[in-house]
Chain A
Amino acid sequence: MVLTRSQEQLADLAGGEHQRRFSLSSIPPSSRYYWIRVLLENPAALASLIFLSTVIILAVFAPLVTSYAPTFVNPVSRLQGPSADYWFGTDTLGRDVFSRSVYGARISLLVGGAVMFGAGFLGSAFGLVAGYYDRADTPMMRVMDGFEAFPGILLAIAIMASLGAATRNVIVALIIVFTPNVARLMRGTTLVTKRQLYIESARAIGMRDHAILRKYVFMNSLSPLIVQCTFVVAFAILAEASLSFLGAGVPAGTATWGNMVSEGQTYLQRAWWMVLFPGLLLFMTVMAINLIGDGLRDALDPRSRDR
């Protein structure tokens, strides 16, 4: 103890080394990383980040953190309530609900992440082109209007009915549903950015359109895009669960939160845990992502901070 203190004092003499130890409050408002401080000083966002990280870690290391395989059928221990052996109880086939919940997180996170990248990429591309080129604007946005004329879940159901139940198809269907949403946002920011003087100067020095779009217009829309993408993840996870619940998502039998709630509804009177645990996990995960999105919006957009 004494030794450490003297070392610290030595370091102090050598130029205030201990001040370099990382702390959030040492990030000044002028720093480009200031948003991290704003985000982490928001208690709801911080708690959500911790919760979401836990879910991600559980999902990644699913085989290590579960004692039973999600498909392991054990007729002897059917419909058992939560216990030390089975934290979340067992289902009608004696499968471990905790294990299935953890493996269900994998599907949810996979779908959420894939839809975010897919819709984020396609939506950005469409939005940038529609916003930048006047001639492309009206036709492209009318097509987007067409896709947005449906309630999202209904369009997803219709696409799934054609493609057939499979995780990959859920991702495709949800990318189609969420792309117009991102495109609309990107078009809006592009319309504003392209009137800026620096875009005109870039054009004047002979920069190509795709370079301007990539380097300036896209980068300038990055903050709202990131915020929007967090909400896309949340909605995609909800939508996947709803589709699976309705039997139009991931094939029945696969451990997903939606499938588990659907299977559990029939046994509601005898085994509430079959519904409650996966449902709560789904609810909390989506809420955590939404709160992170809210926090990111406050952190990345200086105008919304003081409100």
Chain B
Amino acid sequence: MTAYILRRIALMAPVLIIVAVIIFSLIHITPGDPAAVMAGEEATQQQVEEMRERLGLNEPIYIQFIEWTANALRLDFGESIFLRQSVSSAMVERVQPTLLLTIYSLTLAMLIAIPSGVIAAVRRNSIVDRILMVFAIGGAAVPNFFFGIVLILLFAVILGWLPAGGYVDIDDDPVQHFRRMILPSVTLGFAAAGLLARMVRSTMLDVLNEDYVRTAYAKGLRQNRVVLLHALRNAMIPAMTVLGISLAGLLGGSVVIETVFSLPGMGRLVVQSIQRRDYPVIQGVVLVTAVIQLVVMLLIDVLYVYVDPRVRYGSD
């Protein structure tokens, strides 16, 4: 087990280096002079030089890379060009909305996906199965920004039940906080739920054909008991992997959704930084997101081995 985890972490190292190279290169693929671009159009020659100095662009490129990586390892992503604060502190200020939005939508996705996936598998070709299929297909195709706006149109503009956007800190006013987070979480959660439900359904169908399920029925157990205690536990193992993929989708989706609902999160920070040409911020947020995603994938792999001994013994 420990050997497996260590090997898995060792495999992550080269990927992390490549991730660092990709993000580092971003500033250098800019057409023209990055210092001039970041200093702004009306910058004087001297200001451009100062910017170049500040970003360390005068150094040879490999030194720049080593310095950048060494700083990034210490969670120092440099100073934001626009915000007049360090990138790390800008991210810390904006982490709460993103984190909570991800947690809410993931919870919502599981609450929808697991029961409907199980029911669809147990009652195959029933109405529930068909409705689920339509939702899954539609959910994969609907652009999440459009879905979010349609929800705003319906629940905020027409019905007036919920606010159209904005953010309230959970410590300041929990009720307002949740009222404002309902629509964004539903937007993201529904999209993730479709894929997750299809996965639960298909793994559940596989498990229901297993011998031990037949045995459980043969010894006279009720269907609920067989499905919930014997089948679901085994079906959840492959579904866990999809949870990881869903999380990746949520991290990307939150960038868009935070913009739709004006949530002051990390995703909106990135989007605002595009127009400001604030490369250090973009690099920092993208790097942190990639590392989070890699770590989550690692945790899921480890958890997979932990809950399913077959994988552990099979790999040796």
Q: Does B82 interact with chain A (Cβ within 8 Å)?
A: no
Tell which of A150, A164, A246 touches B256, judged by Cβ atoms closer than 8 Å.
Answer: A246
Q: Are A161 and B141 in contact (CB under 8 A)?
A: no
Residues of chain B contacted by A242 (CB below 8 angstroms): 143-145, 256
Q: How far is the CA of A269 from the CA of B164 in the complex (A)?
A: 11
Q: Which residues of chain A (138-178) have a CB below 8 Å from chain B? A: 142-143, 145-147, 149-155, 157-164
Q: Does B18 interact with chain A (Cβ within 8 Å)?
A: yes
Q: Are A234 and B141 in contact (CB under 8 A)?
A: yes
Specify which of A241, A265, A287 lies most central, judged by the most chain B CB atoms within 10 Å of its CB: A265
1/0 contact string of B227-259 vs chain A (CB within 8 Å): 000000000000000000000110111011001
Q: Does B286 interact with chain A (Cβ within 8 Å)?
A: yes
Q: Does A272 interact with chain B (Cβ within 8 Å)?
A: yes
Q: Does A238 interact with chain B (Cβ within 8 Å)?
A: yes
Q: Which residue of A lies closest to B278 (CB)?
A: A161
Q: How far is the CA of A269 from the CA of B143 in the complex (A)?
A: 21
Q: How far is the CA of A291 from the CA of B141 in the complex (A)?
A: 10
Interface-forming stretch among B25-33, B61-69, B70-78?
Answer: B25-33
DSSP majority for the A interface?
A: helix
Q: Are B29 and A275 in contact (CB under 8 A)?
A: no
Q: Does B86 interact with chain A (Cβ within 8 Å)?
A: no
Tell which of A163, A241, A246 touches B259, judged by Cβ atoms closer than 8 Å.
Answer: A246
Interface size class of chain B, counting residues whose CB lies under 8 Å from the partner chain = 35 or more
Q: Are B14 and A268 in contact (CB under 8 A)?
A: no
Residues of chain B contacted by A245 (CB below 8 angstroms): 143, 145, 256, 259
Q: Contacts A151-B248, A279-B150, A290-B137; is A241 near B143 (CB within 8 Å)? A: yes
Residues of chain A contacted by B26 (CB below 8 angstroms): 158-159, 161-162
Q: How far is the CA of A268 from the CA of B164 in the complex (A)?
A: 11
Residues of chain A contacted by B146 (CB below 8 angstroms): 261, 275, 279, 282-283
Residues of chain A contacted by B255 (CB below 8 angstroms): 151, 153-154, 157, 246
Q: Contacts A246-B271, A246-B274; is A147 near B22 (CB within 8 Å)? A: yes
Q: Does B96 interact with chain A (Cβ within 8 Å)?
A: no
Residues of chain A contacted by B290 (CB below 8 angstroms): 149-150
Tell which of B31, B137, B138, B256 touches A163, judged by Cβ atoms closer than 8 Å.
Answer: B31
Q: Does B307 interact with chain A (Cβ within 8 Å)?
A: no
Residues of chain B contacted by A142 (CB below 8 angstroms): 14-15, 18
Count of chain A residues near B, Cβ 8 A: 45
1/0 contact string of B39-65 vs chain A (CB within 8 Å): 000000000000000000000000000
DSSP majority for the B interface?
A: helix
Q: Contacts A149-B19, A161-B273, A161-B277; is A154 near B286 (CB within 8 Å)? A: yes
Residues of chain A contacted by B17 (CB below 8 angstroms): 146
Q: Does B2 interact with chain A (Cβ within 8 Å)?
A: no
Q: Does B294 interact with chain A (Cβ within 8 Å)?
A: yes
Q: Does A248 interact with chain B (Cβ within 8 Å)?
A: yes
Residues of chain B contacted by A286 (CB below 8 angstroms): 141-143
Q: Contacts A238-B143, A246-B274, A248-B274; is A265 near B260 (CB within 8 Å)? A: yes
Q: Are B286 and A275 in contact (CB under 8 A)?
A: no
Residues of chain A contacted by B271 (CB below 8 angstroms): 157, 246-248
1/0 contact string of A277-289 vs chain B (CB within 8 Å): 0010011001100
Q: Which residues of chain A (43-73) have a CB below 8 Å from chain B? A: none
Q: How far is the CA of A152 from the CA of B253 in the complex (A)?
A: 10
Taking the nearest CB of chain B, how far is it from the CB of A175, in angstroms? 14
Tell which of A157, A159, A161, A276 touches B279, judged by Cβ atoms closer than 8 Å.
Answer: A161
Q: How far is the CA of A275 from the CA of B14 in the complex (A)?
A: 44
Q: Does B95 interact with chain A (Cβ within 8 Å)?
A: no
Q: How far is the CA of A279 from the CA of B294 in the complex (A)?
A: 33
Q: Are A268 and B149 in contact (CB under 8 A)?
A: yes
Q: Which residue of A lies closest to B275 (CB)?
A: A247
Q: Which residue of A lies closest to B268 (CB)?
A: A246
Q: How far is the CA of A158 from the CA of B252 in the complex (A)?
A: 12
Q: How far is the CA of A279 from the CA of B164 in the complex (A)?
A: 18
Residues of chain A contacted by B137 (CB below 8 angstroms): 287, 290-291, 294
Taking the nearest CB of chain B, how far is it from the CB of A241, in angstroms? 6
Q: Which residue of B lies closest to A291 (CB)?
A: B137
Q: Does B21 interact with chain A (Cβ within 8 Å)?
A: yes
1/0 contact string of B96-137 vs chain A (CB within 8 Å): 000000000000000000000000000000000000000001
Q: Are B274 and A161 in contact (CB under 8 A)?
A: yes
Q: Which residue of B lies closest to A290 (CB)?
A: B141
Enumerate chain A interface residues (CB-CB to B < 8 A): 142-143, 145-147, 149-155, 157-164, 234, 238, 241-242, 245-248, 258, 261, 264-265, 268-269, 272, 275-276, 279, 282-283, 286-287, 290-291, 294
